[in-house]
Chain A
Amino acid sequence: MNFFKRAWLNVWAKKGRSVLLILVSSAILMFVLAGLLIRSAAVKATETAKTNAGATVTLSANRQAAFKKMQSQSSSSTKASRPKLTLTPVKLSDAKNIAKLSNIKSYNVTSSTTVNAKSYDTVSTSTGMGAGGGPGGMKGSSQSSGDTQIDGVTATALTTAFTDNQSKVTKGRGITASDEGTNNVVIEKELASQNNITVGDTLTFKQTTGSKKTIKAKIVGIYKASSSSTSTGPMSVDPANTIYASYTLANTLKGSKYAGTADSVTFNVKNPAKVSATKRAGKQLISSKYSLSTDDAAYQSVKSSMNNVESFANKIVWLVAIAGTIILALIVILMIRERRFEIGVLLSLGEARWKIVAQFFTEMLMVIVIALAVAGVGGKFVGNQLGSQLVAQSTTTQTTSRSSNQPGGGQPGGSNGGNQHGAGGPDSTATTAAATKKANLEISMSAVDLAELGGFGLAITFLSIMIASGGILRLEPKKVLIS
């Protein structure tokens, strides 16, 4: 194993050349490491997105089926008895069956209606048209409009407005599952301050349908809706007039026939990647009167963005590795040319050719080991810089693409119902914002990354030496030494 000693003596004696080789190798490995780090960060971000980005499956009335039914009735009816669009409220028993599917994490029942204020004044709005139908118009003609929106939910914490921080409880608490069957409500901060009411106070409102009874409700919390969630469409109420309650209270306000039903039920899935499979399984459990829609925009946005980043990082890794191999091979070829006499002497002493190649490989290996350490220190910095540039570029492309594909920022509420915060409208913006936030790369270095870099370093060294060794294998000592 004399070639080890020779390699060491050579690397040590020719310090200038060794330092130069270390610098070149470090630069190559630094970019390889940056690519590896970005790639693994992108994979990690996609994995995190599976749990954090949150995809949902929403059970609601099948508006399309109902419309078809109405059309078939209208062709056979007279002008006087024109058929109405009748949407069947979702049965909670169906929702509970779907909730038993393995990929369902939690679910939120939504039932909305409107009431008229009695003990308080609503926040006035210039576009104050009723909210009964909303953009999707689920309740449509069956309900009269009031001046206060009641959003009945299982828990406010499960609603998109609260999960995306568009709304925030500032005093008291939000609605929880324990509020089922109670008249507890959470009101908006502006509404509370305008009427000088706070947590613990009661307010009364009047039903807009049926017996138009007056209902007394207890305020358990106050929330603040951010201005970005303000909906200013002609069919909406001022967000300050939206009161959150348990869905059971909303059902009571709508009338006794709505007991055990909901406008829609949103299921949060455990693994967004399997959202389509969950939808298919859910469809087996419901009748055609209902539809299941999915919203995995946040997950898809992160996934797509990270796929771009990962693909680019892969290209960086391979391009730099190939370019690095070629650069190192050229350097080694030049180095070997200048050491032809040494090779000749070694051959004249009877040294095996493979041992001469092994000496050059060992020399490069010593250089690479130091370069690995240098790249390990600098690679994270380069990875961070490159990663943030890539994500920024990728997110911009995503947003531009979304804007051009979906005019208006997303689909309207549709079958989710008039007052349902669905995938469309302002919430879509919120989702995109959340996705963009989640798409940030967290560049961190692990032992696996370093091991992978070591592998690349070894492969680059091996290949460059092999390419350059052709000369050694063909070299005839006589031509070098005696000429």
Chain B
Amino acid sequence: MLRTEGLGYWYQNKDQPLFQQVNLEFEVGQSYAILGHSGSGKTTFLSLIAGLDKPREGAIFLNDRPLTEIGLTHYRRHEVSIVFQAYNLFTYMSPLNNLLTAMAITGASHAGDQDYARQILRDLGIADELMTRNVQHLSGGQQQRVAIARTMCCDAKLVVADEPTGNLDEDNTQAVIAQFQRIAHDQQKCVILVTHEPDVAAQCDQQYRLENKQFVRLAERA
């Protein structure tokens, strides 16, 4: 589904790239974890495959079409869904409106369908009475679940998440990881998580570690 060819990125000095000649493939129905220490460039890699930035060298292909041809705005709107560590919800809206807004912007097939959005929130453990409250009144775990629900209600086949469990406790972390697994396996989407926590990474189907400017594939989950 998603493929990188000779991908490279550096900030100021080409001689000091974050990564170089990265050739990876990501498929639907699978969850991937990108591991790496702070500053290794894993979040930058995520921003490239999320269409938030352009690579310095190489290219990214979605179903064999380069992103430059698809257009980054179109790609972000229809092909990819992003979950952030800081949730990044619309703080002046309720969970329900956050979902409806995302559905409207991305032109999802269920756009405008409140019942559908409510069901997704319900599935993620957001009680009905919380759905119409301002999101700022929700706990961190609840807000992250709303953020995940936002990716689920959109039709994008690619879900990328940047440290999605970074601000969560153990219970919420497990719940969120389980949810990502369901998205990958039940909804047949491609989930790519960027994390620095080996325990979280270990629960994904495949793991890559970014070290020495290269992505090293770790053992597949049994």
Cβ contacts under 8 Å, B88 to chain A = 341, 344-345, 348, 481
Query: What count of chain A residues pass the 8 Å CB interface test?
Result: 23
Q: Are A478 and B92 in contact (CB under 8 A)?
A: no
Residue B104, interface by CB 8 Å:
yes
Task: Identify B52's interface contact among A6, A9, A478, CB under 8 A.
Answer: A478
Which residue of the partner chain A has the closest CB to B71?
A: A350
Residue A477, interface by CB 8 Å:
yes
Residue A121, interface by CB 8 Å:
no
Q: Are B92 and A10 in contact (CB under 8 A)?
A: yes
Q: Give complex CA distance A482, B134 in Å.
A: 24
Q: Are A350 and B92 in contact (CB under 8 A)?
A: no
Residue A447, interface by CB 8 Å:
no
Q: Give complex CA distance A347, B88 in Å.
A: 12
Q: Give complex CA distance A350, B151 in Å.
A: 13
Task: Identify B47's interface contact among A2, A342, A346, A482, CB under 8 A.
Answer: A482
Task: Identify B105's interface contact among A10, A13, A341, A351, CB under 8 A.
Answer: A351
Q: Are A350 and B77 in contact (CB under 8 A)?
A: yes
Q: Are B105 and A349 in contact (CB under 8 A)?
A: yes
Q: Are B134 and A348 in contact (CB under 8 A)?
A: no
Residue B73, interface by CB 8 Å:
yes
Q: Give complex CA distance A481, B52 in Å.
A: 9
Query: Shortest distance in angstroms between A12's beta carbon and chain B's nearest beta carbon?
Result: 8
Q: Are A342 and B90 in contact (CB under 8 A)?
A: yes
Cβ contacts under 8 Å, A352 to chain B = 73
Q: Are A347 and B76 in contact (CB under 8 A)?
A: yes
Which residue of the partner chain B has the closest CB to A478?
A: B52
Q: Which secondary structure characterizes the binding site on chain A?
A: helix
Query: Shortest distance in angstroms between A279's beta carbon and chain B's nearest beta carbon?
Result: 71
Residue B167, interface by CB 8 Å:
no
Which residue of the partner chain B has the closest CB to A352?
A: B73
Cβ contacts under 8 Å, A10 to chain B = 92
Q: Give complex CA distance A2, B53 in Å.
A: 25
Cβ contacts under 8 Å, B73 to chain A = 350, 352
Residue B110, interface by CB 8 Å:
no
Q: Are B53 and A476 in contact (CB under 8 A)?
A: yes
Residue B122, interface by CB 8 Å:
no
Interface centre among A346, A348, A349 (most CB of B within 10 A): A349
Q: Are A2 and B105 in contact (CB under 8 A)?
A: yes
Q: Are A350 and B52 in contact (CB under 8 A)?
A: no
Residue A257, interface by CB 8 Å:
no
Interface centre among B43, B77, B78, B162 (most CB of A within 10 A): B77
Q: 1/0 per residue A337-374: CB within 8 Å of B?
A: 00001101111111110000000000000000000000
Q: Give complex CA distance A348, B101 in Å.
A: 13
Q: Give complex CA distance A32, B24 in Å.
A: 62
Q: Give complex CA distance A228, B94 in Å.
A: 78
Binding site for A on B (CB under 8 A): 43-44, 46-47, 50, 52-53, 73-78, 82, 84, 86, 88-93, 97, 101-102, 104-106, 134, 162
Inter-chain pairs besides A348-B50, A350-B75, 11 sampled, C-beta below 8 Å: A2-B104, A9-B92, A9-B97, A342-B90, A345-B88, A350-B78, A350-B106, A351-B105, A478-B52, A481-B52, A482-B162
Binding site for B on A (CB under 8 A): 2, 5-6, 9-10, 13-14, 341-342, 344-352, 476-478, 481-482
- Name 18 interchain pairs, CB-CB below 8 A, sorted by A: A2-B101, A2-B105, A6-B101, A13-B92, A342-B91, A345-B89, A347-B76, A348-B50, A349-B77, A349-B105, A350-B74, A476-B52, A476-B53, A477-B52, A481-B84, A481-B88, A482-B44, A482-B46
